[in-house]
Amino acid sequence: MLPYSVLLVLSGILIAIAERFWPRVPTQRLLRRGFFLDLVYLFLNAEIFGALVSIWLASQIPVKYIQPWRETLGLNGIVSFPVWLQLTVFLVVKDFFQWLVHNLMHRIPVLWHFHRTHHSTEEMDWLSNWRFHWVEIVAYQLVLYLPATLVEVSSEAAYGCAVISTLIGHLAHANLRLSLGPLEYILNSPTLHAWHHVHPDYGPTDRNFAISLSLWDWLFGTAHLPKETPKRLGLRESDLATSLPQ
């Protein structure tokens, strides 16, 4: 298997090329506003903060303390499933908890204070996927650690889940004029996620919380998918002034 970091970069390059041919916003430049800032976020959030938080969590809540619960709940057998089934179970469980956390980040003021960093981008492409405050990493991993550890899967399944999540995350944030058709009832997409980032004066906020799977938004009534594309992305000036960490 290729290292995750290599796949991360390769997927970004391929989507960046596609953005040149089928852009949602044709006037958006490759080196758009915030491009180099997002490169810094990519390096820090993908490679450093995520690893540090994972190491810290594992030291605070060792797997040996979770093992008895895994046995009690009858989850030990999942690792014996075919890899594709392990991957599917893990992805669905992980994505649902991520959807819940993302939803709460828009509804609880103290969490929105940090999450609005992600919404500060006014010109979005695949790299915008990595613009978020480090506190978000802590929040997501605190919530995800227990279910992710309870649902024990093979390293191949965990790797596959990480790759799929990253690819969909890059695609959803891409400056692409791309509809997935009926698949948008299941998977996140550029058309869905652009409306999640719509400027408050140009469309409804708190919609399309999907990370990888849009089905949660359709099930819980938070999906929004008009035919047109948003006219403007980003935040109001009052939020924008304090959206980035100082």
Phi-psi region of 74 (alpha: psi -120 to 50; beta: other; left: phi over 0): left
Give the rounded distance of the alpha carbon of 88 from its chain centre. 17
**What's the pLDDT at 80?**
82
Residues of the chain with confidence (pLDDT) below 70 = 46-67, 69-77, 238, 240-246
d(CA 103, CA 81): 31
**Are 145 and 65 within 8 A, CB to CB?**
no
d(CA 193, CA 173): 7
Nearest to residue 222, comparing CAs of 107, 131, 137, 119? 107
**What's the pLDDT at 107?**
95
**What's the pLDDT at 7?**
85
**What's the pLDDT at 144?**
78
d(CA 142, CA 170): 23
**What's the pLDDT at 61?**
65
**What's the pLDDT at 65?**
67
**What's the pLDDT at 246?**
38
Tokens 């004066």 belong to which residue? 201
pTM given for the model: 0.88
pLDDT in tens, 114-135: 999 999 999 999 999 999 998 8
**Are 112 and 200 within 8 A, CB to CB?**
no
Task: Compute the residue count for the chain.
Answer: 246
